[in-house]
A = this chain, B = another copy of it.
């Protein structure tokens, strides 16, 4: 197992260091405990929107271009992603530039300008197009089954939001979400690579020690589905040469007991040509080019999904 160190600053910010002396570079990642499940139907997509907005300039860097260039100057390439429970900002950087890297992330996380909102909204609406077909109908299987697995719960909403909710987001909503969740005690910074623990803690402290903020409110209480929930099917007509099929099973979450059996089951089903799904549907029956199983685990719920794409004629045999 790889060793790691965990330090906590006085303001609650956690710093994790993974010393990997054999590497030539380092990676810095800032995880904020905010994502799709901290949203309502009205604010769906605000966490992901905020993720984008933190790239649009800060008090120290007037534009996304200045920010990107500052990262490039220390060997970095900054990027980010948002899921149901976390938002992660990350970049590679030269190990000699830990202080500069921490200062850049602090500028994004503590002092974003949150401007050019309408330009960024257009970009996100383009990103959201990928989940819809030419008739404006949602075709992303994860989003479709999510609504059946967690009806009425924030986990049923796509992380990117709906086109209506994205269009309705404004600066007030973004600033409220930012003030609530972008706090030191709700953030973990991880640095891995050719770095030493003391230098990492010093660099992060210098950039982040002045950050103040309360703990965010706890996640909304998760309401389990009614007893005796029955299997459900959703069918969406879409134009493509293949039919996309997803079988989604609701499973216990990370904090609801051991996930090891689920991980073993996922691996037995999918992962290499000797796993069951590929072996049977592809190698033996020749019905598909690709079939796989994926496991998504949240704190208190999860989903095991089997995804398959086949020509219409092969759907029934598969």
Contacts and interface: CB of A to CB of B under 8 A. Distances in A.
A65 interface: yes
Interface string A221-247: 000000000000000000111100000
Contact of A273 (B64, B130, B136, B283): B64
Contact of A65 (B134, B242, B283, B285): B283
Nearest to A125: B311
Contacts of A273: 55, 64-65, 68, 78
A126 B287 contact: yes
Interface residues of A, number: 49
A264 to B, nearest CB: 15
Contacts of A310: 126
Nearest to A23: B22
Nearest to A240: B134
A201 to B, nearest CB: 25
A159 to B, nearest CB: 15
Interface of A: 22-23, 55-56, 63-65, 68-69, 72, 77-78, 118-127, 129-130, 132-134, 136, 239-242, 272-274, 279, 282-290, 309-311, 314
